[in-house]
């Protein structure tokens, strides 16, 4: 056997006696056949020249056996999950014994000296299979915990319920039109053609949402204006809008006009109570007790009437006003206060100390506009700039004779100082007087203007407690 023939054997860990003049047998022959020469004993002891014996009894030369590669051992599972490959057992007696693969020998690690013919390195262990969207693979552990913990790289974080979006699964439904030709078309087609609300309806819905916004504490709105400009009508109408759209809150209109105010007759002519009865009653322990001292209309607006009977003339003073309104503040969130036309009145001064917003009513004529301008100057002269910034100017066409050009000029002049100016058109249902039961009897244009006034006031709703907010 030559050195080249012995290389595979040495690399596989086999040992055999060195023969310098040994020539491999090219094939089976009768002269070397152990059965033909030596009998059964020879057949059981193969010579060093012979390879492994086949079932047919013929032998192969050692070089042919050495060139064969031992089968690749199967990886054995280990505790840490890494496949380990064994090495040939070195405890063999000779190369005639087939190689035994067992666990690795720590005292003598197996390290081949070079590449072997037909030998392939075992593939590296594969990482655990990952499935998309964090779902567990078949037969494996889940890629992501149900508790929202981090999963494998690339897997989304969060629970399955968080990824289910109702707005993506449920189709959106277009709102129905409330009025106009769109509503007629929807009814004529039996609901097959739905164009949705008009832009005007959408705008009105935005204003209503602004009126329904969050309100903290109490909100008091004063109404000022020259006599005869519709100050009481504006007070009752704005209060009715708040009562209709904010049904979770109680709204009260208070008559603070000392010159025989008419607010009670415009809201509830049957109201029995007044300032004096409310302030003197010591048993107002619930809203039911207060309810007997105030009136209300169909829209849900309550009213505290003033002194309307000339026979028993009682002058309203600041102390009575303060005591009565303090009791109302326990049960009402929004107060609309109809003030006197005299700015220097002691009661008006007391009202101005507690206001959050202001409405100044003017007629669309020169005399009414001049009186409204003097009211604004009076507020600015006393340093009430904060209240001026929360003031809404209403141009009320109470008789329907104002021309469009005059209203436009007045709106531009008042608006140049930064105040909100809203024009209320003439409405035949409001002119004759009588009870204002809400906005259902108003024309669509008039109702829209009062909704705009209420929305402008709601834009200044306080976002903190009463004692912490600045009123002036």
pTM (2 decimals)? 0.64
Residue 231 gets which letter from DSSP?
H
Q: Is 320 helix (H, G, I), strand (E, B) or coil?
A: helix
138 vs 122: CA distance, rounded Å = 25
Domains of the chain: 3-52+59-102 (no CATH), 177-211 (no CATH), 217-468 (3.40.50.300)
Q: Render pLDDT for 66-124 as a digit per residue (tens, 0 to 9).
A: 455 455 555 555 555 555 544 444 444 454 555 555 555 555 554 555 555 555 666 66
Q: CB under 8 Å to 141, separation ≥6 — which residues?
A: 128
* pLDDT class of 37 with cuts at 50, 70, 90: very low
Q: What would the pLDDT profile of 324-333 be if each residue is shown by its tens digit?
A: 999 999 999 9
CA-closest candidate to residue 429, choices 439, 415, 419: 439
- Nearest Cα residue to 226 out of 257, 247, 200: 257
Bigger pLDDT: 276 or 100?
276
Q: Are 254 and 321 in contact (CB under 8 A)?
A: no
Per-residue model confidence (pLDDT) at position 121: 62
Confidence check: pLDDT of 38 > 50: no
Least confident segment among 250-254, 386-390, 402-406: 402-406
| Rounded alpha-carbon distances, angstroms, from residue 268 to 261, 324, 450, 466 | 13, 19, 20, 30
427 pLDDT higher than 50: yes
Q: Mind listing the pLDDT tens digit for each residue in 53-62?
A: 444 444 445 4
Give the chain's end-to-end CA distance (angstroms, integer).
116
Edge to edge, what strands does the sheet with 219-225 contain? 295-296, 302-304, 251-255, 334-338, 219-225, 357-362, 391-396, 420-424
State the pLDDT confidence band at 359, using cuts at 50, 70 and 90.
very high
CA dihedral 397, 352, 341, 216 (to 10 degrees): 40
Q: Which of 248, 215, 224 is closest to 336 using CA atoms?
A: 224
For the segment 148-158, the average pLDDT, to the nearest whole number, is 57
pLDDT at 255: 93
Whether 24 has a pLDDT exceeding 90, the answer reads no
Sign of CA dihedral 130, 135, 139, 145: positive
Q: Which of 158-162, 309-313, 350-354, 439-443 is the least confident region?
A: 309-313
């Amino acid at each position: 056997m030559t050195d080249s023939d012995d290389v595979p054997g040495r690399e596989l860990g086999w040992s055999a006696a060195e023969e310098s003049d040994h020539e491999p047998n090219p094939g089976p022959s009768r002269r070397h056949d152990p059965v033909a020469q030596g009998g059964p004993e020879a057949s059981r002891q193969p010579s060093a020249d012979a390879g492994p014996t086949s079932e047919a009894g013929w032998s192969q030369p050692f070089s042919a056996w050495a060139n064969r590669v031992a089968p690749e051992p199967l990886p054995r599972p280990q505790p840490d999950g890494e496949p380990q490959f064994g090495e040939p057992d070195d405890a063999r007696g000779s190369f005639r014994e087939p190689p035994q693969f067992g666990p690795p020998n720590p005292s003598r690690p197996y390290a081949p000296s070079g590449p072997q013919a037909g030998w392939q390195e075992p593939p590296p262990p594969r990482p655990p299979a990952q499935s998309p969207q964090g779902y567990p693979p078949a037969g494996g552990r889940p890629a992501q915990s149900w508790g929202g913990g981090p999963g494998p790289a690339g897997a989304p974080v969060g629970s399955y319920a968080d990824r289910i979006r109702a707005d993506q699964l449920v189709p959106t439904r277009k709102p129905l039109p409330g009025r106009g030709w769109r509503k007629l078309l929807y009814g004529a087609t039996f609901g097959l053609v739905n164009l949705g609300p008009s832009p005007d309806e959408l705008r009105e819905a935005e204003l209503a949402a602004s009126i329904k916004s969050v309100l903290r504490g109490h909100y008091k709105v004063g109404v000022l204006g020259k006599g005869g400009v519709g100050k009481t009508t504006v007070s009752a109408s704005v209060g009715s809008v708040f009562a209709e759209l904010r049904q979770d809150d109680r709204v009260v209109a208070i008559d603070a006009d000392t010159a025989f105010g008419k607010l009670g007759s415009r809201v509830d002519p049957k109201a029995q109570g007044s300032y004096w009865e409310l302030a003197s009653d010591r048993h107002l322990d619930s809203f039911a007790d207060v309810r007997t001292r105030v009136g209300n209309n169909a829209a849900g607006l309550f009213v505290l009437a003033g002194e309307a009977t000339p026979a028993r003339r009682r002058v309203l003073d600041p102390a009575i006003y303060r005591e009565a309104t303090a009791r109302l503040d326990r049960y009402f969130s929004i107060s609309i206060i109809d003030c006197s036309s005299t700015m220097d009145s002691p009661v008006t001064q007391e009202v101005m100390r507690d206001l959050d917003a202001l409405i100044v009513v003017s007629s669309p004529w020169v005399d009414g506009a001049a009186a409204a301008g003097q009211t604004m100057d009076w507020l600015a002269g006393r340093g009430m700039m904060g209240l001026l910034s929360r003031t809404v100017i209403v141009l009320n066409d109470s008789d329907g004779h104002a021309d469009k050009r005059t209203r436009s000029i007045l709106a531009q002049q008042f608006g140049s100082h930064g105040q909100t100016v809203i024009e209320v058109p003439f409405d035949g249902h409001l002119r004759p007087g009588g009870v204002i039961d809400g906005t259902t009897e108003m024309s669509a244009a008039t109702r829209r203007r009062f909704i705009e006034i209420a929305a402008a006031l709601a834009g200044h709703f306080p976002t903190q407690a009463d004692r912490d907010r600045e009123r002036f």
